[in-house]
């Protein structure tokens, strides 16, 4: 008899309905990840009790931990399904693997959540380099290798939501923009062209819901799959906010 993997999935039909757990048993295959498991369930959506069900909705795109679309709670920890290897999960919890949608975002269906919160926070901090045309403006300002090395890790953010999920300051009572938006604000403030919009960016970073709302619990940095130095970005944003406050006070 083939080896089975038991998976319990927290399911929800849409944003307004309640959730319930459903259990599935999937044939084990060497090298499987949790996206493969969800694909096998979609191909044959029958519960462990033998009842016909529906394919579990989930997001996925790159399948190599680059796009951030497949973030969910796997055995209670926020991470990407495509890089969660079944063999490793079974070592920790051989009886059953649990899958839940992230809790800080509205559920669209099953494991699919609406991550608009993060994109709106990126808009608030103007996380882009402004361009005023597509004509050739010649070479841009130079950056030293040291500056490039410093900034590169921040560019690997995939808006996956793990840091938002782990941050205790993000909840229904707060309007904190979160660690990812802070880090992206810092990245563009330090960019030689992006820094021309530093003042506008600082309005969001230093204003209500900005850096002052960070409780410094440092949960964010522990869960970031890209190992982005979020606490370093938070410290830099704090210094930028102080500088911005002085600038405003002295009107320069
Ligand atoms: S340091 Fe703590 S409070 Fe601040 S963004 Fe990270 S998890 Fe949230
Ligand atoms: S900072 Fe890290 S955890 Fe947060 S959204 Fe970006 S990649 Fe994900
Ligand atoms: S599918 Fe892109 S990170 Fe998992």
Give yes or no for residue 198 having a pLDDT over 70: yes
Among protein residues, the one whose CA lies closest to atom 8 of ligand 1: 167
Q: Are 182 and 226 in contact (CB under 8 A)?
A: no
**In whole angstroms, what is the distance from residue 211 CA to residue 247 CA?**
17
Give yes or no for residue 252 having a pLDDT over 70: no
The mean per-residue pLDDT over the stretch 7-27 comes to: 96
The mean per-residue pLDDT over the stretch 157-172 comes to: 97
Question: Would you say domain 4-112 falls under CATH 3.10.20.30?
Answer: yes
Give yes or no for residue 61 having a pLDDT over 70: yes
What are the domain boundaries of the chain? Answer: 4-112, 116-250
The mean per-residue pLDDT over the stretch 135-144 comes to: 86
Give yes or no for residue 139 having a pLDDT over 90: no
Q: Are 81 and 63 in contact (CB under 8 A)?
A: no
From 162, 1, 188, select the one nearest 73 (Cα to Cα): 162
pTM of the shown model: 0.94
Q: Return the CATH class of domain 116-250.
A: mainly alpha
pLDDT given for residue 1 in this prediction: 66
Q: Indicate whether residue 157 lines ligand 2 (CB < 6 A).
A: yes
The mean per-residue pLDDT over the stretch 163-182 comes to: 96
Q: Is 98 helix (H, G, I), strand (E, B) or coil?
A: strand
pLDDT band at 128 (very low <50, low <70, confident <90, very high): very high
Q: Are 70 and 38 in contact (CB under 8 A)?
A: no
**In whole angstroms, what is the distance from residue 74 CA to residue 81 CA?**
8
Range in 75-89, 123-137, 170-184, 216-230 with the lowest mean pLDDT: 123-137
Cα-to-centroid distance, 85 and ligand 2 (Å): 20
Pocket test for ligand 1, best of 170, 171, 185, 220 (most atoms within 8 A of CB): 220
Q: Which residue has the tokens 């190599």?
A: 64
Cα separation of the two ends of the chain = 76
Pocket test for ligand 2, best of 79, 163, 231 (most atoms within 8 A of CB): 163
pLDDT in tens, 63-98: 999 999 999 999 999 999 999 999 999 998 889 999
Q: Mean pLDDT for the chain?
A: 95
Which ligand is located closest to the Cα atom of residue 78? 2
Burial state string for 99-128 with b = 16 or more CB within 10 A and e = fewer than 16:
bbbbebbebbbbbbbebebbeebbebbbbe
The mean per-residue pLDDT over the stretch 31-51 comes to: 97
Q: Percentage of the chain with pLDDT > 90?
A: 87
Q: Is 42 helix (H, G, I), strand (E, B) or coil?
A: helix
In this structure, are strands 4-12 and 97-100 parallel, antiparallel, or unpaired? parallel
pLDDT given for residue 173 in this prediction: 92
Q: Are 112 and 58 in contact (CB under 8 A)?
A: yes
**In whole angstroms, what is the distance from residue 223 CA to residue 162 CA?**
6
- Ligand 3: atom nearest CA of 59 is 1
């Amino acid at each position: 008899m083939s080896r089975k993997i038991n998976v319990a999935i927290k399911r929800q039909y849409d944003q307004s309905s309640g959730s319930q757990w459903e259990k599935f048993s999937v044939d084990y295959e060497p090298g499987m990840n949790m996206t493969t498991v969800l694909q096998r369930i979609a191909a044959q959506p029958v519960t462990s009790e033998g009842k016909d069900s529906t394919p579990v909705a989930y997001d996925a795109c790159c399948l190599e931990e680059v796009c951030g679309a497949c973030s969910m709670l796997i055995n209670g920890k926020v991470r990407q399904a495509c890089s969660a290897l079944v063999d490793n999960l079974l070592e920790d919890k051989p009886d059953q693997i649990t899958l839940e949608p992230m809790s800080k975002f509205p559920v669209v269906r099953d494991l699919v959540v609406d991550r608009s919160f993060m994109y709106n926070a990126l808009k608030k901090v103007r996380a882009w380099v402004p361009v005023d045309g597509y004509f050739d403006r010649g070479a841009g300002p130079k950056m030293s290798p040291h500056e490039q090395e410093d900034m590169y890790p921040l560019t690997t953010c995939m808006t996956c939501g793990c840091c938002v999920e782990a941050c205790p300051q993000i909840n229904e009572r707060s309007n904190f923009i979160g660690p990812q938006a802070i880090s992206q604000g810092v990245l563009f403030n330090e960019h030689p062209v992006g820094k021309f919009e530093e003042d506008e960016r600082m309005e969001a970073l230093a204003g209500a819901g900005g850096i002052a709302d960070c409780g410094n619990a440092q949960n964010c940095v522990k869960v970031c799959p890209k190992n982005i130095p979020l606490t370093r970005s938070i410290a830099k944003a704090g210094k930028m906010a102080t500088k911005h406050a002085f600038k405003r006070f002295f009107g320069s």
